[in-house]
Chains A and B, each alone.
Chain A
Amino acid sequence: MSVTADALAIGEPAVLRTSGVVRRLARNPTVVFGVFILGFIVAMGIAAPWLANFDPAAINPSFRNKTPGAMESVRVDDGVRSEVRHWMGTDSLGRDVASRVVYGARASLLVGVSVAVIAVGIGLAVGLAAGYVRWLDGVVMRFMDGLMAIPAILLAIAVVSLSSAGLLAVIVAIVIPEVPRVVRLVRSIVLSVREEPYVEAAIAVGTPTLPLITRHILPNTLPPLIVQATYICASAILIEAILSFLGVGIPAQTPTWGNIMAEGRTLFRVYPHNILYPGIFLALTVLAVNLLGDGLRDTLDPRMRKRL
């Protein structure tokens, strides 16, 4: 385990040059494809109240387990009846799957982005400290080795089980297994950059620690961290869905893709749409984030090509 993370992150990464990077990214078809899908999903999450035909939580006992495309006659406020379509059918409680899928985008994106930001933030701070303060290094890294020895999903499941299920618990549970990977990455960059002549020169002329870190060391960690954050986001979205699916994630009444699929498990053989539709959206979203990550990696940090 310990071999690769260090071995793969050596070398001094390119410093960010924003305009050039954006231009190069825009020329990469996989990135454009990823951004396009992601934009679509984000827009769907934002526009959920207008896109959804039904209240995603509304239970309708008389209209359960309908196949996709089923029409329901609904009474609108002024008493007029009108036909409304259940684009993806209804689940075993009569809730509209399409509305739940549309709202589900919010939970997935929220978890993905917050896990990525928090994990990278904590990992960056700890990694800088471990790489810079020598006596901390041993202690911190042994602790991280211990954390990394526990398979991520198991650790996440165990952490969630400790507290009452909720969005925050899920985010914390996914952040914890991701942090050690960020710490390793940051630390290995700090260790290699610290030996660079310009850093030694900066130390020699008496640059105080804080400016030294922010001006000389931090910029080197950014390109690989941005790439890493994208991959963490993708895996966080997947793990959130897995937790919900196993019944230990965000509370079941909240519309998340994992919850919709968990609900559809029992009647899957007869009504596969409850798993199929959220599954497609979930896979597309993760795929888009992964493609974006691959593009960012090739552009920002060609030496990291070896990584997943």
Chain B
Amino acid sequence: MLAYIARRLLATIPVMAIVAVLVFSMLRLTPGDPAAIIAGAAATSQDIIDIRARLGLDRSIVAQFFVWIGNVLTGDFGESFFFKKQVAALIADRVGPTLALATTTMILSVLVAVPLGVIAAWKQGTWIDRIVMGFSVLGFSVPVFVVGYVLIYIFAVELSWLPVQGYQPLREGLWGFLQRLILPSLTLSVIYIALIARITRTSVLEVLNEDYIRTARAKGLPDRVVLMKHALRNAAVPIVTIIGIGVALLIGGVVVTESVFSIPGLGRLTVDAVLARDYPTVQAVILLFSAVYVLLNLVVDVAYTFLDPRIRY
């Protein structure tokens, strides 16, 4: 088991290395001189040359890559062009809201989607199933920001139950923190719920045809026990897999949701950095999000063995 985890961890290294090469070369292929951007409009050509030397931009592209990757591995993402600040410090400032939003969304989504999927599978073909599936297709089709604005309009503008936008850190009070997270989490969870509910339904449906389900029913177990203990347990692997894959959707959604709700997190930072052509920040954020995505899916792979003892490595 430990050997398996170690092997999988090692296998993520080439993937992350390719991501690093992609991110680095992508942003270095762009027209425009970062040194000129940093120097600003009033700079002399000597200023620009100095900045180029300081950032190492006068060296070959391969050398630059290795310097950059060496720095990244020690936690140094360079200095932001736009925010005039260390990128690592910038990320540290912004990671809290994103983490809060992503965590609440994930918990909310799993709590809502899994029961919905199980019920839809159990009541296959009935109106409950149709509603769940209809919601699921719709959830894939409505853009995140439209959901966000509709929720804002209903709950914040018309009903005034919740604040329109903004974020408040947890240390300033639990209620204020949660209050501002409700609408963004709901918004972001729609697509995630759609995804998880759909896969849960499919995989539970498949399990429900198995002999041991018939046996469990035949010996008189209540539906609840059959569904939760026999069916869901055996359907867990695809569900957990999709929760892992869905993190990519979640990350994309975070970028949009934070913009809609003016949450000062990493997603908002990404958009601001892209708009300001702040390449060090863009590189760092993409690397970070990709690393989180890859690692979470590694966790999912390892979780298989706990969920399904038949899977051995």
Q: Which stretch in A91-99, A112-120, A245-253 binds the other chain? A: A245-253
**Minimum distance in angstroms from A174 CB to a CB of chain B:** 12
Chain B residues closer than 8 Å to A279, beta-carbon distance? 142-143, 146, 149-150
**Max chain B C-beta neighbours (<10 A), residue from A3, A152, A234, A306:** A3
B138 and A242 within 8 A (CB)? no
B138 and A149 within 8 A (CB)? no
Within 8 Å by CB of A245, from B202, B256, B293, B301, lies B256
A238 and B143 within 8 A (CB)? yes
B274 and A248 within 8 A (CB)? yes
**Minimum distance in angstroms from A164 CB to a CB of chain B:** 9
B245 and A150 within 8 A (CB)? no
How far is A273 from B10 in the complex, measured between Cα atoms in Å? 52
How far is A241 from B141 in the complex, measured between Cα atoms in Å? 12
**Max chain B C-beta neighbours (<10 A), residue from A4, A143, A150:** A150
Residues of A234-262 contacting chain B, CB below 8 A = 234, 238, 241-242, 245-248, 261
Within 8 Å by CB of B146, from A151, A159, A261, A306, lies A261
**Minimum distance in angstroms from A97 CB to a CB of chain B:** 15
B290 and A150 within 8 A (CB)? yes
Q: Mark A267-308, 1 if CB is under 8 A from B, else 0.
A: 011001001100100111011001100100000000001101
Answer whether residue B116 sits at the interface, using C-beta atoms and an 8 A cutoff.
Answer: no
Chain B residues closer than 8 Å to A222, beta-carbon distance? none
A283 and B241 within 8 A (CB)? no
Within 8 Å by CB of A294, from B21, B137, B203, B245, lies B137
Q: Which stretch in B50-58, B118-126, B171-179, B247-255 binds the other chain? A: B247-255
Chain A residues closer than 8 Å to B22, beta-carbon distance? 146-147, 150
Q: Which stretch in B26-34, B75-83, B215-223 binds the other chain? A: B26-34
Answer whether residue A142 sits at the interface, using C-beta atoms and an 8 A cutoff.
Answer: yes
Answer whether residue A57 sits at the interface, using C-beta atoms and an 8 A cutoff.
Answer: no
Within 8 Å by CB of A149, from B16, B195, B271, B282, lies B16
Answer whether residue B168 sits at the interface, using C-beta atoms and an 8 A cutoff.
Answer: no
How far is A247 from B245 in the complex, measured between Cα atoms in Å? 27
B241 and A162 within 8 A (CB)? no
Q: Mark B122-145, 1 if CB is under 8 A from A, else 0.
A: 000000000000000110111111
Number of A-B contacts (CB under 8 A): 160
Answer whether residue B5 sits at the interface, using C-beta atoms and an 8 A cutoff.
Answer: no
Residues of B148-163 contacting chain A, CB below 8 A = 149-150, 152-153, 157
Residues of A132-160 contacting chain B, CB below 8 A = 142-143, 145-147, 149-155, 157-160
Residues of B247-291 contacting chain A, CB below 8 A = 247-249, 251-253, 255-256, 259, 270-271, 274-275, 277, 282, 285-286, 289-290
A154 and B241 within 8 A (CB)? no
Chain B residues closer than 8 Å to A283, beta-carbon distance? 138, 141-143, 146
How far is A279 from B16 in the complex, measured between Cα atoms in Å? 37
Chain A residues closer than 8 Å to B251, beta-carbon distance? 151, 153-154
Answer whether residue B207 sits at the interface, using C-beta atoms and an 8 A cutoff.
Answer: no
Answer whether residue B198 sits at the interface, using C-beta atoms and an 8 A cutoff.
Answer: yes
Chain A residues closer than 8 Å to B290, beta-carbon distance? 149-151, 154
A142 and B15 within 8 A (CB)? yes
Answer whether residue B294 sits at the interface, using C-beta atoms and an 8 A cutoff.
Answer: yes
A286 and B140 within 8 A (CB)? yes
**Given A151-B293, A157-B271, A242-B145, A287 and B198 contact (CB-CB distance below 8 Å):** no
**Max chain B C-beta neighbours (<10 A), residue from A1, A291, A305, A306:** A1
Binding site for B on A (CB under 8 A): 1, 3-4, 142-143, 145-147, 149-155, 157-163, 234, 238, 241-242, 245-248, 261, 268-269, 272, 275-276, 279, 282-284, 286-287, 290-291, 294, 305-306, 308
Enumerate 24 A-B pairs (CB-CB under 8 Å) in ascending A order: A1-B245, A4-B242, A145-B14, A146-B21, A150-B23, A150-B289, A154-B255, A157-B271, A158-B23, A162-B26, A163-B30, A234-B141, A245-B143, A245-B145, A245-B256, A269-B164, A282-B146, A283-B141, A284-B141, A286-B143, A306-B199, A306-B238, A308-B198, A308-B199
- In order of increasing CB-CB distance, the 9 nearest A-B pairs are A146-B18, A153-B252, A279-B146, A287-B141, A286-B141, A151-B251, A161-B274, A151-B248, A283-B142
